[in-house]
Every structure is written in structure tokens, then in C-alpha cells.
């Protein structure tokens, strides 16, 4: 269930980034130095990537 939630959050984040990019004429908006400084947790995609190893059946 956690993987499904993280995947949904990742997709939502991707849609938001695409909408902001489209609103700025297709030019990606750079993340501000302050927002990078305050971002202390990995993004959803990174979390999901690291979680995949635990979702694989044990042999």
C-alpha cells in the first residue's frame, strides 16, 4: 500500500511540475536555493525506488 501511495504522490508531483512549466511557456522553472535548502526528505520517486527491494519476494 505504501508503494501505491508513493507512486500516486509522484504522479501528482509530475503533473504539477508539468503545469507550472506549461504556464511559463514550456521553460522549466528552476528550484530556488531556499527551497533546495529546506528540502530535507527525498522525493517520492527516490523513496519508491528504494522501497522496491523490499517488495520483491524473498528467495
Question: Has residue 59 got a pLDDT over 70?
Answer: no
Cell of residue 21, nine digits: 512549466
Name the 3-class secondary structure at 2.
helix
- Whether 55 contacts 3, CB under 8 Å: yes
Question: Has residue 1 got a pLDDT over 70?
Answer: yes
**Angle, to 10 degrees, between the axis of helix 2-23 and the axis of helix 44-55?**
150
Q: What angle do CA 43, 15, 8 make, to 5 degrees?
A: 55
pLDDT in tens, 7-53: 888 788 889 889 988 998 988 888 777 777 767 778 878 888 888 88
Q: Where are the domains of the chain?
A: 2-55
Amino acid at each position: 500500500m505504501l508503494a501505491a501511495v508513493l507512486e500516486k504522490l509522484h504522479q501528482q508531483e509530475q503533473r504539477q511540475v508539468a503545469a507550472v512549466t506549461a504556464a511559463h511557456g514550456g521553460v522549466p522553472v528552476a528550484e530556488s536555493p531556499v527551497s533546495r535548502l529546506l528540502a530535507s526528505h527525498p522525493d517520492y520517486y527516490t523513496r519508491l525506488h528504494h522501497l522496491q527491494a523490499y517488495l520483491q519476494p524473498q528467495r
